[in-house]
Structure 1
Amino acid sequence: MGLFRRNKVWWMTFIHQGQQVRRSTGTTDKRLAEAILGKVRVKIVEGRFFDTLEAKDHTFNDMMDRYLKERSITKAPASRRRDEQCLTHLRSAFGSLNLAEVTPKLLAAYKAKRRETAKPATVNKELGLVRHSFNVAIREWEWCRDNPMQRVCMEKVRNERDRWLSSDEEGRLLAHSAPWLQDIIVFALNTGMRRGEILNLQWQAIDLNRQVLVVMRSKNGEKRTVPLNGRLTDLLKRKASKRAAGSFVFASSAETLFDARNLTRSFRLAATKAALSDFRFHDLRHTFATRLAQAGVDLYKVQRLLGHKTAAMTQRYAHHSPESLREGVLILERVHPQISQNYHNEGGAVGECCASA
């Protein structure tokens, strides 16, 4: 292991596992080059030097190209499009850098800059893609050892919506919707299913005899069973009687998968005609949950119907269920009725007795 100079810059050379390695120290100062060489010796002894070399041999673009081919391709179409949209900004900031050069400092600066033009949720999606890509590069490809996103905080997101349809608004929305859109709206209002789950629903996942359907792949990657009420059973029986050869319940005119963007475009037009302000298709899901909570349905049941993995996601609807909460305190009277009854009948005797004791 030693140093040699090339074009005034000091290089280090050494043999490792039978192969000669030459790397620039990046300095014309011999004393600094010797110090760098000393650090390299320590890293070689600890087995960390070639991890660093590997991270320098692959650029951010290399990592993202491989991620798109191997990991993003397994995601739902909407998630793949989101990854590609995120990379539009990420590549311009980090694309030519090698992985060792993508530091927490640079990522924090990127976050601050993007915050000026993008919403916190958008920034988090981009940073989340970087974090997951580095995790894959560490665990599966062994391209690097450290994930710089471990030391970068995500943005605080306050995007909880509390928008749902009143009965009058529902009537106006349906009145301004085409028949095929009416069916989808009614289906969303009575199942709480997401747009993608509805559009990907196939007849084989429906059991009209048992009045249930199975969401084969939800947002969290798990199956869930959704019961059907009478309104939906009638709707599906009507559609089944006119069913063509296609496998999708809500199909295009060609009996193929319905385009989500066309649905969104038609829904927005209907909402505008119905004079519904700030109302999105996903708010039909909020309406489903809100109506259940207002009717006193237990929040655990709401969680299961929505397919939330944790109760925290469902807690946003808790303030809509005062009668359900009232039931929680009224049960105390049924469990311990005698003490309260004695207190009222004896004019506070129980309290006086306790006080004298």
Structure 2
Amino acid sequence: MTIAKITPSLVKNWPVILAGKERDRFYDPEIRGLSAEVRQGGGVSFRFRYFDERHREQTIGLGRYGDVTVAQVRERAKALRAAVALGQDPAAERRQRRAVPTLASLLEGTVLPQLADQRGAGNHRAYAARIIQAFGKLRLDELKPADITGWRVGMVKAGLANATVNRHTAFLRMAYNKAIEQGLYSGTNPAKSPGALPEGNREQYLTVIQVKALVRALDLEPNRDAACAILLLLLTGARRNEVTQARWEDVDFDLYLLTVQRSKSGRRHHIPLSPPAVQLLRRQHLRTGHGEHVFPGRAPGKPITSLRGSWDRARRAAGLPDDFVLHSLRHTYASCLVNRGRSLAEIAAVLGHSQLSTTRRYAHHAPARLVSTATLAAETWGLLPTMEQCYDTN
């Protein structure tokens, strides 16, 4: 081992490497662990070597001469020597920093696969795509709260609703929490408390006149499967996926029940059907009952995937507000039942609200009163006793 103080003069006037030797290395006598190395063909690189608390040798590269100066190398080596003396492990800390995943690798490799079987997986992918577009190349410890603030402002300026922006932020916060829980990241969560943007009241309701206008518009909609799926949403107050993914094996015409094997809460839910809803389903069964799904999609063996086009056409034809969304049919249905004096417990059972779990057994048995409750909306809108607007099977 050759010992010599590492100086600019030594580096510039490196002794000739003897024939047969691949490299020469000099160790600095003043800064223990600092060395300089030259290889055949030229070029000097610097290293710092130390032993960690478990007496394992660790080496940290300090760069090549020309990229760094000798003075910079010596100052860096002194700082590392002091850190080691204080019980730190600079090499382990460097490895830990390098192991921190990027936002893209965390979302694509960890978060999305773990959420793939959960409801809302499509929304999760959409949130992840927007996050990756903005921050995908950053490592988790590089994203700052100020970056998230600017990102949220940009989404609002791009026309996204405050509620949508809040969902993106919540998804990002959840992703960081998963990284921390699984030991992929040990820092703070930059999305921990950015504050929720104020959300407008999306619980819009249709009047009786508007409901009848919507039914007439759906009667003229060329996509009959989509039109009847929307009508069933109106008549049951069900969630969109509960209708679009319904299977004939889950429809009980005798008990007036549509069973949702896995609702939003993750539990089985039984939707009581009013006579118009049953009639609509009977007509649909006559037309498409040979398949597995109540509302078949374009792909063989798959359910309908989107109601957007039919909904937009019917909404415009009915003269409904541009911001009236499909999910608000559920609010319209619930508000009608409330206005007719039904109890919140009964309505919760009809709609499948899990927080009133004591009422769930009534929905399972579909007692006459719940069927009557489910019928009130159609009765109010003058859609009893028939539902000819759905379509003619002839």
Of the three residues 162, 186, 190, the one matched with 1:120 is 162
Corresponding position of 1:61: 104
TM-score normalized with structure 2 length? 0.65
Shift of 1:4: 3.3
Q: Secondary structure at the match of 2:116?
A: helix
Of the three residues 174, 177, 191, the one matched with 1:132 is 174
My pick for the range that moved more, 22-31 or 208-217, is: 22-31
Corresponding position of 1:165: 206
CA 1:207/1:105 → structure 2, altered by over 3 Å: closer, same or farther?
A: same
Shift of 1:144: 1.5
Q: Secondary structure at the match of 1:121?
A: helix
Of the three residues 140, 143, 160, the one matched with 1:102 is 143
CA 1:174/1:113 → structure 2, altered by over 3 Å: closer, same or farther?
A: closer
Q: Is the CA contact 2:166–2:196 (under 8 Å) kept in the aligned structure 1?
A: yes
- Alignment deviations for residues 218-243 of structure 1 (CA, whole Å, 9 cap, x no partner): 23333222112222222223333444
CA 1:13/1:91 → structure 2, altered by over 3 Å: closer, same or farther?
A: farther
Pair 1:74-2:117 in alignment? yes
Q: Higher Cα Rg: structure 1 or 2?
A: 2
Pair 1:145-2:186 in alignment? yes
Shift of 1:115: 4.2
Of the three residues 15, 30, 34, the one matched with 1:4 is 34
Corresponding position of 1:208: 253
Equivalent-residue separation in structure 1 for 2:256 and 2:85 (angstroms): 70
Equivalent-residue separation in structure 1 for 2:93 and 2:349 (angstroms): 45
Equivalent-residue separation in structure 1 for 2:122 and 2:335 (angstroms): 30
Amino acid at match of 2:152: K
CA 1:42/1:275 → structure 2, altered by over 3 Å: closer, same or farther?
A: farther
Equivalent-residue separation in structure 1 for 2:347 and 2:93 (angstroms): 48
The CA RMSD measured in Å over matched residues stands at 3.6
- Alignment deviations for residues 42-63 of structure 1 (CA, whole Å, 9 cap, x no partner): 6759xx9958843531222221
Corresponding position of 2:265: 220
CA 1:251/1:31 → structure 2, altered by over 3 Å: closer, same or farther?
A: same
CA 1:255/1:99 → structure 2, altered by over 3 Å: closer, same or farther?
A: closer
Q: Secondary structure at the match of 1:186?
A: helix
Name structure 1 gaps, 5 residues minimum.
Answer: 312-357
- Alignment deviations for residues 66-86 of structure 1 (CA, whole Å, 9 cap, x no partner): 13552243244xx34433333
Equivalent-residue separation in structure 2 for 1:175 and 1:5 (angstroms): 85
**Identity level (%):** 22
Residue correspondences, number: 305
TM-score normalized with structure 1 length? 0.70
Shift of 1:170: 1.9
Pair 1:111-2:141 in alignment? no
Corresponding position of 2:374: none
CA 1:305/1:43 → structure 2, altered by over 3 Å: closer, same or farther?
A: farther
CA 1:71/1:169 → structure 2, altered by over 3 Å: closer, same or farther?
A: same
- Alignment deviations for residues 117-158 of structure 1 (CA, whole Å, 9 cap, x no partner): 343223222222222222222323x21224414642332332
Corresponding position of 2:125: 84
CA 1:155/1:24 → structure 2, altered by over 3 Å: closer, same or farther?
A: farther
Which structure 2 residues correspond to residues 232-311 of structure 1 after superposition, within 5 A?
A: 232-252=277-297, 256-261=301-306, 263-278=307-322, 279-310=324-355
Q: Is the CA contact 2:226–2:295 (under 8 Å) kept in the aligned structure 1?
A: no
Equivalent-residue separation in structure 2 for 1:170 and 1:35 (angstroms): 74
Equivalent-residue separation in structure 1 for 2:48 and 2:135 (angstroms): 27
Equivalent-residue separation in structure 1 for 2:354 and 2:77 (angstroms): 54
Amino acid at match of 1:73: A
- Alignment deviations for residues 166-223 of structure 1 (CA, whole Å, 9 cap, x no partner): 2222222222223444422331122111112110011122222222222122233332
- Alignment deviations for residues 85-141 of structure 1 (CA, whole Å, 9 cap, x no partner): 33344224422222222344443443345444343223222222222222222323x
Q: Is the CA contact 1:4–1:10 (under 8 Å) kept in the aligned structure 2?
A: yes
Q: Is the CA contact 2:111–2:178 (under 8 Å) kept in the aligned structure 1?
A: no
CA 1:171/1:181 → structure 2, altered by over 3 Å: closer, same or farther?
A: farther
CA 1:213/1:291 → structure 2, altered by over 3 Å: closer, same or farther?
A: same
Corresponding position of 2:217: 176
